[in-house]
Amino acid sequence: MIKRISTEDLKPGMFVSSFDLSWFKHPFVSTRLGVVRDQGLINELKKLGISHVEIDTDLCTADEARPSPEIRPGKAARERLQPCPSEGDPERSARFARKLFDHAMTATRSLMDSVRAGKPVRTEEFQPLVARLVDAVNHNENVLHIILSLKSFDDYTYTHSLNLAALGVLLGKSMNLEQADLERLGLAGILHDVGKCLVPREVIVKPGPLTEEEFNLVKAHPALAHGYLSRQNDIPGEVLRAVLEHHERLDGSGYPRGLADGAIHPYSSIISVVDVYDALTSDRVYRPRMSPHAALRLLFNQRGQTFPEAMVDTFIKRLGVYPSFSVVQLRNGCYAVVTRQTPGRPLFPEVMVFCDREHRPLVKRRLDTWRLCGELARKEYEIERPVEPGELPPPMLMGIA
């Protein structure tokens, strides 16, 4: 039996099934905290300003020191993610990004396993993750770029969902969306491809061209995901729309319903833009990835046709002509990785030089290309061209963002 009580009346041994506070404002993986084992947790809830909680009286235990094994909360329920560090601490930012990435991979694998087994999706497990992504886009965007750079070294199946959550939040913030919208976009990014778990794996990972029948199976994954997730009552309708419509296109050429223009939800359009960008810049079984610059150019060529023009323009402006962690070659022949955008100067980002024209390693040094090329007229430090990953993959420079 669920009963709502004051936090003042909460005692060790009671089973907290829920409390009313936005996931962005609390550090727990779930609002279902389980059995309260000590006064410390109660004090923390009070410190967060939580005045009431819901308890499950059937799961409360009389023995406060030893909650029964079958109702003892799992480790994930008490797991905490630290607050996002400041932008001025690059080493801590890198460590935080790696930890957040590892947490996301664990949660996403659990998500996919649950769907394959026909179990309900525990959306509360993703709430702290999404909250930290929103926090990063508000206070330390370098964390997002570091996370995105890690996708080359882990399984695309899982990193793609995290990347879409990060990029969706980034684009949503650039469009001046509210906090709640950013949280829903992050969740939509995590959930958008769960329908692929319901399609035969040999079709999803097939390295060659798909037959018409196989392509139809793949095209069913948005509807399969929507049908599966709709059976739960804790997933916002806008998120379900994004899951269903992320392959719809402005000109009606998409699937599964062939929607066009105004019939497509804005969340769906945001997820579709970042979905294409991340797919193009990732290695797939049937083709190598392309550079971020080339992927943005392809999106630019489709603006106003398959994707909303203003949305694509905003996305390109936010990422920059040469996105962070992409490789470029300077006019002097040296290769560098982009480390930071220069506000208002999209052609002149900050870079880190790491090898010469013969690919021989150099002592890494940071360059402000705008200051060198603009103020000091050192044209040899201008960016000559973007470099495709197949020619020279980006180095792992996690500490220099």
pLDDT at 358 over 50: yes
pLDDT of residue 77: 38
Between 76 and 327, name the one with better pLDDT: 327
φ, ψ (nearest 5 deg) of residue 366: -85, 140
Q: Quick one: average pLDDT of 175-198? A: 94
Residues 256 and 342 in one domain: no
Q: CA–CA separation, 100 vs 165, rounded Å? A: 13
Between 118 and 61, name the one with better pLDDT: 118
Q: Quick one: average pLDDT of 265-284? A: 93
Q: What is the mean pLDDT of the chain?
A: 85
pLDDT at 298 over 90: yes
Residues 296 and 331 in one domain: no
pLDDT at 204 over 60: yes
Evaluate whether residue 85 is within a structural domain: no
CA angle 231, 158, 90 (to 5 degrees): 125
Return all residues near 275 (Cβ < 8 A) that are at least 6 apart: 164, 192, 246, 247
Evaluate whether residue 84 is within a structural domain: no
How much of the chain exceeds pLDDT 90, in percent?
44
Evaluate whether residue 297 is within a structural domain: yes
pLDDT at 76 over 60: no
Q: CA–CA separation, 44 vs 38, rounded Å? A: 11
Structural domain count of the chain: 3
Express each pLDDT in 371-400 by its tens digit. 998 878 889 999 999 998 878 877 755 444
What is the domain-level CATH number for residue 224? Answer: 1.10.3210.10
Residues 8 and 41 in one domain: yes
Express each pLDDT in 106-140 by its tens digit. 888 889 989 999 998 888 888 888 999 999 998 88
Half-sphere exposure of 185 (CA within 13 A, CB side): 33
Evaluate whether residue 269 is within a structural domain: yes
pLDDT of residue 168: 96
Residues 187 and 282 in one domain: yes
pLDDT of residue 255: 95
pLDDT at 197 over 70: yes
Residues 310 and 390 in one domain: no
Between 184 and 287, name the one with better pLDDT: 184
pLDDT of residue 25: 60
| β partners of residue 303 | 307
pLDDT of residue 72: 34
Express each pLDDT in 324-335 by its tens digit. 888 999 999 999
pLDDT of residue 149: 78
Between 142 and 33, name the one with better pLDDT: 142
Between 41 and 303, name the one with better pLDDT: 303
Residues 41 and 111 in one domain: no
Between 66 and 210, name the one with better pLDDT: 210
Evaluate whether residue 25 is within a structural domain: yes
* 118, amino acid identity: G
pLDDT of residue 80: 62
Of the ranges 23-37, 148-162, 219-233, the best mean pLDDT one: 219-233
Which residue, 279, 294, 319, sits at the end of a domain?
A: 319
Residues 394 and 283 in one domain: no
Which of 26-30, 197-201, 317-321 shows the lowest mean pLDDT across its residues? 26-30
Buried b (16+ CB within 10 A) or exposed e, 116-135: eeeeebbbbbbbbbbbbbbb
Distance in Å from the first CA to the final CA of the chain: 51
Residues 142 and 250 in one domain: yes
Domain that holds residue 23: 2-78
Which residue, 291, 319, 347, sits at the end of a domain?
A: 319
Residues 345 and 255 in one domain: no
pLDDT of residue 145: 86
pLDDT at 213 over 80: yes
Three-class HEC string of the chain: CEEEEEHHHCCCCCEEEEECCCHHHCCECCCCCEECCCHHHHHHHHHCCCCEEEEECCCCCCCCCCCCHHHCCCHHHHCECCCCCCCCCHHHHHHHHHHHHHHHHHHHHHHHHHHHCCCCCCHHHHHHHHHHHHHHHHHCHHHHHHHHHHHHHCCHHHHHHHHHHHHHHHHHHHCCCCHHHHHHHHHHHHHCCHHHHHCCHHHHCCCCCCCHHHHHHHHCHHHHHHHHHCCCCCCCHHHHHHHHHCCCCCCCCCCCCCCCHHHCCHHHHHHHHHHHHHHHCCCECCECCCCHHHHHHHHHHHECCCECHHHHHHHHHHHCCCCCCCEEEECCCCEEEEEECCCCCCCCCEEEEEECCCCCEEEEEEEEHHHHHHHCCCHHHCEEEECCCCCCCCCCCHHHC
CB 82 within 8 A of CB 36: no
Q: Quick one: average pLDDT of 51-78? A: 53
pLDDT at 23 over 90: no
* 392, amino acid identity: L
| Cα radius of gyration rounded to whole Å, the chain | 23
pLDDT of residue 151: 66
Residues 127 and 276 in one domain: yes
CB 352 within 8 A of CB 366: yes
Residues 394 and 260 in one domain: no
Residues 140 and 223 in one domain: yes
pLDDT of residue 261: 86
- Confidence band for 267, pLDDT divided at 50, 70 and 90: very high
Which residue, 270, 302, 319, sits at the end of a domain?
A: 319
Evaluate whether residue 279 is within a structural domain: yes
pTM of the model: 0.75
pLDDT of residue 27: 57
Q: CA–CA separation, 54 vs 135, rounded Å? A: 27
pLDDT of residue 152: 54
pLDDT of residue 211: 92
* Residue 280 CB neighbour total at 10 angstroms: 18
Q: Quick one: average pLDDT of 204-232? A: 91
How much of the chain exceeds pLDDT 70, in percent?
89
